[in-house]
Amino acid sequence: MGAALEYDGTGDVRVGHVADLVRKQSAAPTAEGAPEAPVRAVLILAIICMSYFMVILDNSIVFTGLPQIRADMGFSETGLSWITNAYVLVFGGLLLLGARAGDLFGHRRVFLFSLVVFSLTSLLVGAAQTQWWLIGARALQGVGAAVLAPSALSLLTRSFAEGRARNRAMAAYSAVAGLGAAFGLVVGGLVADLVSWRAGFFLNVPVGIAMVVPAVRFLPETARRRGRFDVAGALLATLGSTALVFGIVDASDIGWTAPATVIPLVAGVVMLALFARVERRAAQPIVPLRLFASRERSGAYVTRMLYMGAMMGFFFFTAQFLQSVYHWTPLQAGLAFLPMTLVNFVFAVQVPRLLERASRPLVLATGVALTMVGMVWLSRLDPHTPYLTGVALPMVLIGAGQGLALAPLTSSGVDGVAPADAGAASGLVNTVHQIGSALSLSILTAVAATVSTGHVATDIAARSGAALTGSAVLLALAVVAVLILIVPARATRTERFL
């Protein structure tokens, strides 16, 4: 999901944790090198986390509203995935360009602009009257998110020094982003039950506008840099990813050998190959290849793509299973995710303490492995699966795993980069998050579409189980990536330091 799709708990406890962060740390440096006062540091972190909260909240609202959207607008089962894919593809494809905009124009200026764009396009989504209007508005919303997310993460990394202070800030960022995902499921269900699925999107408008004033007042501005946009690279990344997803989704309906499937798949591969070539030759690429010089960062990008792809499938299919097989209301379906949310929060707030006692790769590997075990358990769904033992308990493991995994995974993706590459590194973290989510969801949707039993409820349960099995496979690959790429790289880095 979001992404980031990162889960956690309640706002009151989180505020206490953020306050504890600034009390225990020395003042963090700003972009200009001056220390931030403790209260100002709390406000900066709160504004950054709230902005990302909006982005994640928005995507989560969709999940519990999908059955209602399908009934209202006549989407097919595979077509329904484009409501999510249109957003995450544009989000992921333009993230690097959005990150570059922050480097060139100043991250606070770009942050404010994207905050307004995201809020206004949310209004368009809520007002959609046709399938294409809805998908198009979601794509425009992805443009705003693509600029907002990397600017927020760059402002965070520049405001908190690498080490303990940043670990705590990253934990807060991951936890609050998770709160947005969890809260979105509940809010999406609540407004879909009481008003309409549209109302959840309208909520972004007043919230986003209200955030502009404190952002202007408290966020530090970063220096503007000379340079230019790598538009060709951004377009090739976006169009190539979109073509791949389009081909995979089409394969669910018309088969893998049909021209309408083969042509976009081939075009997608060609455009992504051209993207790699453009980035090698560009004077100012949106993806500086030196970011991949670190084995740990490269491993973090691979792991994040696999992990978030698995989690996107989890939310997409589990939400539909709860409503279509259990016949629960959207609100009940949203509340059904609370076991994961609460456990996620408990584990996420312990991550800074754990990182002081154990290595980052160990915490990360444990989190990914726990998520995988929970996903394997959940994939055994059938129409008679009891909620407590077949859904809630696996969610507890998934929540514990995600609470442990996401903060160290984010830190591994941005640590050690030069200030000039901060925006690009932040953008790349979010890009692999979103592109991985879109590609994986299209693959899992294609897998689910191959299952048919002839009975509606049994079909939905079987398709959900097949897709969740696919998510478990992605998580197993993520564990392998951590063990092969991140663990050895971190060990080498520690030896050099000693």
Q: Give the DSSP letter of residue 288.
A: -
Q: At what angle do helices 204-218 and 107-126 cross, to 10 degrees?
A: 170
Separation CA 4–CA 149 (nearest Å): 10
CA 230 to chain centre: 24
Q: pLDDT (tens digit, 9 = 90+) per residue, 129-149?
A: 888 899 999 989 988 888 887
- Per-residue pLDDT at 459: 80
Q: Supply 287's token pair.
A: 């993806």
Q: CA of 202: how far to CAs of 50, 85, 225, 299, 320, in Å? A: 17, 20, 36, 38, 23
pLDDT surpasses 50 at 28: no
Q: CA of 54: how far to CAs of 79, 145, 291, 425, in Å? A: 25, 9, 28, 22
Q: CA of 297: how far to CAs of 309, 310, 429, in Å? A: 18, 20, 9
Residue closest to 93 by CA, chosen among 306, 298, 284, 239: 239
- Per-residue pLDDT at 192: 77
All residues at 6 or more sequence positions from 433 whose CB lies less than 8 Å from its CB, including other chains: 2, 3, 4, 92, 304, 305, 308
pLDDT surpasses 50 at 420: yes
Phi and psi angles of residue 35, each rounded to the nearest 5 degrees, phi first: -70, 145
pLDDT surpasses 50 at 315: yes
- Per-residue pLDDT at 376: 97
Q: pLDDT (tens digit, 9 = 90+) per residue, 160-171?
A: 766 677 777 777
- Per-residue pLDDT at 200: 79
In one-letter notation, the amino acid at residue 304 is R
Q: pLDDT (tens digit, 9 = 90+) per residue, 376-415?
A: 999 999 889 999 999 999 999 999 999 899 888 888 887 7
Separation CA 375–CA 471 (nearest Å): 7
Separation CA 471–CA 287 (nearest Å): 28
Is there a contact between 389 and 376 (Cβ–Cβ < 8 Å)? no
Residues listed for the chain: 498
Separation CA 289–CA 493 (nearest Å): 20
pLDDT band at 182 (very low <50, low <70, confident <90, very high): low
With vertex at residue 468, the alpha carbon angle to CA 465 and CA 474, rounded to the nearest 5 degrees, is: 150
Average pLDDT, the chain: 79
Q: CA of 228: how far to CAs of 42, 222, 457, in Å? A: 34, 17, 54
Q: Supply 167's token pair.
A: 């670990």
- Per-residue pLDDT at 17: 45
Q: How buried is residue 116: exposed, middle or buried, by Cβ count under 10 Å (0-12/13-18/19+)? A: middle
pLDDT surpasses 70 at 356: yes
With pLDDT > 90 as the criterion, what percentage of the chain qualifies? 17
Q: Supply 479's token pair.
A: 């564990």
Hey, how many other C-beta atoms are within 10 angstroms of the C-beta on 130? 10
pLDDT band at 252 (very low <50, low <70, confident <90, very high): low
Q: pLDDT (tens digit, 9 = 90+) per residue, 80-122?
A: 778 887 887 787 777 777 777 777 788 788 888 888 899 889 8
Q: Give the DSSP letter of residue 35.
A: B
pLDDT band at 24 (very low <50, low <70, confident <90, very high): very low
- Per-residue pLDDT at 179: 67
